Amino acid sequence: MKTKKNIVNISLPIVQQIVSVLCGLVLPRLIINVYGSQINGLLSSITQFLSFISFMQLGVGAVAQAAWYKPLYEKDTVKVSQIYVSAEKFFRTIAIFFIGYVLILCFVYPRIVNVNFSNLYVILLILIVAVNMFSQYYFGLTNQLLLIADQRAYIPIILQIIVTILNTVISVYLILSGASIHAMKLVTSIIGLITPFFMHIYVNRKYKINRKIRYDEEPIKQKWNGCMQHISSVIMDNADVIVLSIFSTLINVSIYNVYNLVFNGVRQLILAAFNSIQSIYGKSIAEGNMGATNELFSKSEKITHFIIVILFACTMSLCWPFINIYTSSITDADYKAPMFMIIMILSQIIFCMRTIYYTLIKAAGHFKETQGSAFVEMILNLIISIIAVKRYGLVGVAIGTFIASLYRLLYCVNYLKKNILFRKSSYFLKLICKDMGIYILLLLINSKIVFVKNNLGVFFLNALVIFIADIVISLLFEYCYLKITTKIVETRH
């Protein structure tokens, strides 16, 4: 039963991301075609600015999730309720501050971002987009974290899949019917309330949460120790668009957003399973079986590296042909940015690999011990991006992301080696060398595929051929690598 639940929790996020990627490709193209690149850039910019309110989470969500593992395993309903009440108080406070932040943003945003729209036009769009974010903090986030910690992530995921499909269908209808961007976003924000509403009902029925319970000491022990990690995460997710909005143009924001549909889609597809895997790691650590945890991590590490290499080899080969077709009818901006594409794909590879190691660090509750590295990552990304964007534009923010992600990957690997896994650095180095060998081989083979311009059917056929070929070649490479390394070990003995 546990194995079945784990499979569902790991596979459903992948389904969710596939749905999100497919739906996410439909709307921006339609928005650009109907409303223009300026409005697409404006919408992306506003969303990123509003996302900065998640700064105020201060990492409490990740720490609360980690704090739930042991009481859920021990069926300690009192402790579960205390953590729930503490987390809910915190997130509802953020919701109140969010209202103030939105009002400030309505005043400041039109003055710091170069927009060709009236202040009223921009302010209304900010208020509409803010509706859904407010509901998540006030009604949804605590319930979602509890369900993920209890390995019931499939509940919010199923709800999100339904909402995503519903949003896309209704948005397409409204856009094609001639609705304004404000009307379309207002309807989608209202539909977004479905997820927190039904999660609230499910948690009330499934768990015996005492919302009036009191506690003498803070039940979330490391409540503030995840602060720097969280701030760094917000910076890494949002800084590029913010920097481009302030120091560049909304056209560049739109170009970044279109490429990011591909980058983020692949990245989220890979990372989707990690929310569920973290709870599995957390349960294993709560049981005190570090041997089993080490074995579980080693297996998931190898599998994830294998998947990352294949998917991003496909991405490197398919990204520009897809963008070329996707933007073929767009004339108000040049979407060709090969150097930006290459650096960002390499950055996403590093980011995904880093997340493997950081997930175990979070599951072990080592927030305070690793917060310094999060600060360094944040500063590196901000300083390099701001300096480089003025000279190199899109490439500048890509360089900042690449260097910051590389630093954090190396730090996390080294921290696990010294404090949790206690294994040699050579293990990671061998894995990376193997990854590089497979990646280069796949790119060389993929480069032989010729794409037909503006033919989406042929593109998807070529993409399928590349994907299947890359899997087969990677498996053959893994087989040969295993045979060779086994012989070397046998020879030494």
> 2 vs 417, which has greater pLDDT?
417
- Check if the beta carbon of residue 269 is closer than 8 Å to that of residue 311: yes
The tokens of 189 are what?
A: 């924000």
> 305 vs 18, which has greater pLDDT?
305
Whether 410 shows a pLDDT value over 90: the answer reads yes
Report the C-alpha gap between 21 and 261 in whole angstroms. Answer: 7
The predicted pLDDT at position 427 comes to: 82
Helix (H) or strand (E) holding 114: none
Residue type, 131: V
> 249 vs 228, which has greater pLDDT?
249
Report the C-alpha gap between 335 and 327 in whole angstroms. Answer: 7
Q: pLDDT by residue (tens digit) across 124-180?
A: 999 998 887 777 767 778 888 888 888 888 888 899 999 999 999 999 999 999 899
Whether 97 shows a pLDDT value over 60: the answer reads yes
- Check if the beta carbon of residue 221 is closer than 8 Å to that of residue 9: no
Residue 345's pLDDT band (boundaries 50, 70, 90)? very high
- Check if the beta carbon of residue 400 is closer than 8 Å to that of residue 388: yes
- Give buried/exposed letters for 136-171 (b at 16+ CB in 10 A, else e): bbbbbbbbbbbbbbbbbbbbbbbbbbebbeebbeeb
Report the C-alpha gap between 341 and 322 in whole angstroms. Answer: 12
* Beta carbons within 8 Å of 109's beta carbon, 6+ residues apart: 46, 49, 122, 126
Residue type, 262: V
- Check if the beta carbon of residue 254 is closer than 8 Å to that of residue 43: no
Lowest mean pLDDT among 162-166, 221-225, 234-238, 280-284: 221-225
- Check if the beta carbon of residue 270 is closer than 8 Å to that of residue 307: yes
Report the C-alpha gap between 193 and 140 in whole angstroms. Answer: 9
Report the C-alpha gap between 478 and 460 in whole angstroms. Answer: 27
Strands, E assignment, 88-244: none
Residue 430's pLDDT band (boundaries 50, 70, 90)? confident
Q: How many residues in total does the chain contain?
A: 493
Report the C-alpha gap between 223 and 102 in whole angstroms. Answer: 26
The predicted pLDDT at position 267 comes to: 86
Whether 227 shows a pLDDT value over 80: the answer reads no
Task: Round the average pLDDT of the chain to a whole number and report it.
Answer: 84
Place of tokens 């490197």: 316
Residue 192's pLDDT band (boundaries 50, 70, 90)? confident
Q: Choose the most confident range, by mean pLDDT, from 22-31, 207-216, 309-318, 477-486.
A: 309-318
Q: What is the DSSP string of 25-74?
A: HHHHHHHHHHH-HHHHHHHHHHHHHHHGGGGGGTTHHHHHHHHHHHHHHT
Residue 476's pLDDT band (boundaries 50, 70, 90)? very high
* Beta carbons within 8 Å of 392's beta carbon, 6+ residues apart: 399
- What is the average pLDDT across 19-30? 83
> 448 vs 440, which has greater pLDDT?
440
The predicted pLDDT at position 4 comes to: 66
Return the DSSP state at 53.
G
